[in-house]
Amino acid sequence: MSVDFLEWLQGTSVAVAVAEEWFPLVESVHVVTMAIVAGTIFIVDTRLLGLTSTRLPFSYLSERLLPWTWWAFAGSVLTGTLMFLSNATGYYANTPFRVKMVLLLLAGVNMLIFQKLTFRSVAAWDAIRPPAAARLAGTLSLCLWCGVIGFGRWIGFLIGK
Amino acid sequence: MKLLAFVHWLSSTPLSQLIQRTSWAIPGIQVVHILSLATLFALVLNLALRMAGRGLTAEPLRSLAARFVPVVWACLSVLLLTGSLLIIAEPERTITNQVFYLKMGLLLVAIVLLLWLIRAARREPENPSRLKVAAAAVWMLIWTGIIIAGRYIAYYIA
CB A105 within 8 A of CB A49: no
What SS3 string covers A116-148? HCHHHHHHHHCCCCCCHHHHHHHHHHHHHHHHH
Task: Tell me what pLDDT residue B157 has.
Answer: 72
Residues 6+ apart with CB under 8 A from A27: A79, A83, B151
Q: Which residue, among B22, B23, B30, would best test binding to A if mutated, counting the most A CBs under 10 Å from its CB?
A: B30
- B108 vs B130, which has greater pLDDT? B108
pLDDT per residue as tens digits for the range B33-75: 999 999 999 999 999 999 999 999 999 999 999 999 999 999 9
Percentages of chain B per state (helix, strand, coil), in multiples of 5:
80, 0, 20
pLDDT per residue as tens digits for the range A70-82: 999 999 999 999 9
Residue B128, pLDDT > 80, answer no
List the single residue in B with minimal CA-CA distance to A156: B27
B127 by Cβ neighbours in 10 Å (0-12 / 13-18 / 19+) ranks as exposed
How many Cβ atoms are within 10 Å of A10's Cβ, its own excluded? 20
**pLDDT category of residue A161 using cuts at 50, 70 and 90:** very low
Number of inter-chain CB pairs under 8 A, A vs B:
77
pLDDT per residue as tens digits for the range A44-77: 999 999 999 999 999 999 999 999 999 999 999 9
ipTM of the complex: 0.94
Task: Tell me what pLDDT residue B125 has.
Answer: 63
